[in-house]
Amino acid sequence: MVFSSISFIYYFLPLVLIIYFIVPKKFKNIYLLTFSLFFYFYGEGKFLWVLLLSCIMNFIYGLLIEKYRDKKASRYILFIAIISNIGMLMYFKYINFFIDNINNIFRINIPFIQVIMPIGISFFTFQTLSYVIDVYNGKVKASKNVIDFCTYVTLFFQLIAGPIVRYVDVERELKYRKCNIDEFAEGITRFIVGLAKKVLIANELGSLISSLYDIPEMTVLSYFIIAISQTLQLYFDFSGYSDIAIGLGKMFGFHFLENFNYPFIARSITDFWRRWHISLSSFFRDYVYIPLGGNKGSVLKHIRNIFIVWLLTGFWHGAGWNFILWGLYFAILLTIEKYFLKSFLDKHKIFGHVYTIILILISFIIFNANNLKEGLIFIKSLFCLNKLPIYNFSTIYYIKSYLVILIVGIICSTPIIKFIKKFFKNKKFYVLGNALEVCFTIILLIAVTASLIDASFNPFLYFRF
C-alpha cells in the first residue's frame, strides 16, 4: 500500500484516524504500532521479521549501553550494534553487488544469492543506528518502554522512505503528544500538497521522460528536457513523500523536521546539500563527518573526511557504481568549493546559481543511469558530442504537450507559492487567504483522486533506496 493510492487515502487513513482519536491515551502507541506493523505487512509481509528484529535488538542495545555507561562494555556493545545493523543492511541491499564485483575481479563464478531488499531498510536502519549512538553519547536516555520504541521505529507515515527521524526529536511526543484542530488542519493541507507533488507533477514528468525515450531518433533537446524532468521528478517524488510524512505526523501529534528547503534556489553545491534530503545530510554529518574530525586538523584529513562521507552517501543510495561515482562527484565539487570557489561564488550569486543548476543536472544523470556507460552517453549527447540533431518534430511535439507541467514544476520548485501564501496570510487578507487555501486544497485533492482513478500504479521512486 502506497500513500498515493485510493485505498490508503479513502480507506486506510480515515479508519486509522477515527479509531486513533477514540482510543484512550494510554493505548494510542499500542494502536499506532499495531496499524504500522499491519501497513508494513500489507506491502512487505515476508520481511516483517526483519523490521521486528531491528526494533527488538536495538531496544536491547540501548538498554545495555545505558546499563554499562562509562564502562568499556558500553563501547563493545555500541560496536556490536553498529556491526549488526550495518551487516543486516549490507546483506539485503549489497550482497549481490559484492558477489558480482568479486566475480569480475577474480574471474570466478560465485552464484548470486536469491535475496530481495525489504522496503525501507535503509531508512529504519539509520534511525535505529542514530538512536544507539545517541544513547552512547548521552544525548538521549535509553527507552525503557519497548512499545514506545517500536512505535518510533515503525510509524507508518515515515517508515518506508523517511525522513530519517531521530529518537531525540520525538522522545517527548511518544509520551506526551497533543493535536489541536489548527495543527490537524495544517497536517491535512501538507498531506494533500505532498500527494499533489507526487501524483500531479512527479508522475506526469515520468510520463514525459518515457515518451521522450520512446522517440525513434533522440535529439540534444530531448536529452536536455529529460535531464530537467528527471531532476524535477526525483525532487517532487521525494519531497512529496516527505510532505506526506510531515503532514500525517502533525495529524497524529508528531512534529518531524523539514527534509527539503527549495534546493534548486541554491547558489553553490554546498548550499544545495544544506537544502536537499536534510535528514540524510545531517545524519552523515553528525555520525560520520564530525567523529572523523570534520574540518579540524590538516587539509588532507579534511579532504579525506569529505570523500569518506560522500562515498558512503552515494553507496547508501544503491548497490551500483553509478551511485558511488555520484557520491565521489559531489565530494570533488565540495572540496573545490571549500578551498577555491567559496568567496567567488559568494560574490557572484547569479553565476553561482547557474553553475549549481548545471552541475545538479549532470549529477542526476549519473544518479539515474542504469550503468556508467549509459550515463556517459547521456552526458555526451547533452553537450552535442554524439552528432545528434538539435531537435526534431517528435521532440517539439512532446515538449508542447507537457509544457504546462514543466512550467508548473519549475515554479513549484521555488518559494514563489510560499511567498504568495505568506502575502495572503497577513492581517489584511487573512480571511480571504484561509478561504483560498481551503478551496485550493480541495481542488488538489479532487485532481489527485481523478488522476489516481485514471492512472496506472506508480510507486514512490525512493522506495528502491
How many Cβ atoms from other residues are within 10 Å of residue 45's Cβ? 10
How many CA atoms lie within 13 Å of 38's alpha carbon, on the beta-carbon side? 10
DSSP code of 214?
Answer: T
- Give CA torsion, residues 452, 454, 456, 462, to 10 deg: -30
Residue 381: partners with Cβ closer than 8 Å, 6 or more residues away: 218, 220, 223, 388
Q: How far is CA 393 from CA 207, 211, 216, 219, 226, in A?
A: 18, 13, 11, 10, 16
Query: Contact 372/325 with Cβ under 8 angstroms?
Result: yes
Yes or no: say if 156 and 36 are a contact pair by the CB < 8 Å rule: yes
- Pick the catalytic residue from 277, 317, 348, 353: 317
Q: Identify the residue whose cell numbers are 522522545.
A: 171
Q: Is 426 exposed, middle or buried (0-12, 13-18, 19+ CB in 10 A)?
A: exposed
- The single-letter code of the amino acid at 263 is P
Q: Kindly write down the DSSP assignment for every residue of 231-292, as one continuous string.
A: HHHHHHHHHHHHHHHHHHHHHTT--PPPS-S-GGG-SSHHHHHHHSSHHHHHHHIIIIIHHH
CA–CA gap between residue 139 and residue 431 (Å, rounded):
43
- Which H/E stretch holds residue 334? helix 321-336
Q: Is the Cβ–Cβ distance between 162 and 134 less than 8 Å?
A: no
Burial of 14 per CB tally in 10 Å (0-12, 13-18, 19+): exposed
Q: Count Cβ atoms below 10 Å from residue 229 Cβ, excluding itself.
A: 22
* Active site (annotated) includes residue 277: no
Q: What is the dihedral of CA 233, 235, 237, 239, to 10 degrees?
A: -160
Specify whether the CB–CB gap between 65 and 139 falls below 8 A: no
Count helices and strands in the chain by DSSP H and E runs:
24, 0
Residues marked as catalytic? 317
